[in-house]
Amino acid sequence: MVTEDEKKKIEACVQELLAQLGYAVGVKWQSESQQGFSSPLLSIESGDNLALLIGAEGKNLEALEHIAHLITRRILGSDHSPEAGHFLLDINRYRTDQAIRLVSLARQSVERVIASGLPESLAPMTSYQRRIIHTELAMMSSVETESIGTEPHRRIVIRPASMSHRSEHASREGLKGDF
């Protein structure tokens, strides 16, 4: 659990980083009950257009988050809790809305897989996106999920639970089912 003191330092770090980039924004932590993510979520809100900070398919957001992690780990030093380095940034609800879309996509795919009895392969996704889908579908006993392929083309295959854990292709390629 990230302590309140660590949260304040992380907030200040992220605000300063964004100020250096020319953005005056508000930041606040989302409560765990609000956000539904596995890591604490620091929400960045602004009336300004922050699309450049998000970037195509969230690539700039991922890079910004990586930089924020490096800076905060350095600022917090070795005295911080292990969880302090694990937080997510969300800009104008981009990640929150993306998670909602991914869960919807996963549920629609599950309906097709159950109806057809055939596995379905989703488009390539980042590990963060795959984790959202794996987590959502892990609660469903009617389907199994597996990540196959190599980055940046790694994707999820959803199959009926009665099918084997590995597709013939994944077994042949020696790919692991983790994300």
Residues 81 and 104 in one domain: no
Same domain, 86 and 103: no
Which residue, 72, 92, 112, sits at the end of a domain? 92
For residue 88, pLDDT over 70 is answered with yes
pLDDT attached to residue 127 = 86
Q: What is the pLDDT of residues 106-136, one digit of tens each?
A: 999 999 999 999 999 999 998 889 999 999 9
Regarding whether 106 and 58 lie in a shared domain, the answer is no
pTM here is: 0.74
CATH at residue 115: 3.30.1370.50
Q: Which range marks the domain in which residue 102 is found?
A: 98-173
Please count the structural domains in the chain: 2
Q: Please give the torsion angle defined by the CA atoms of residues 67, 72, 77 and 79, in that order, rounded to the nearest 10 degrees.
A: -130
Does one domain contain both 107 and 84? Answer: no
Say if residue 8 is in the same domain as residue 86: yes
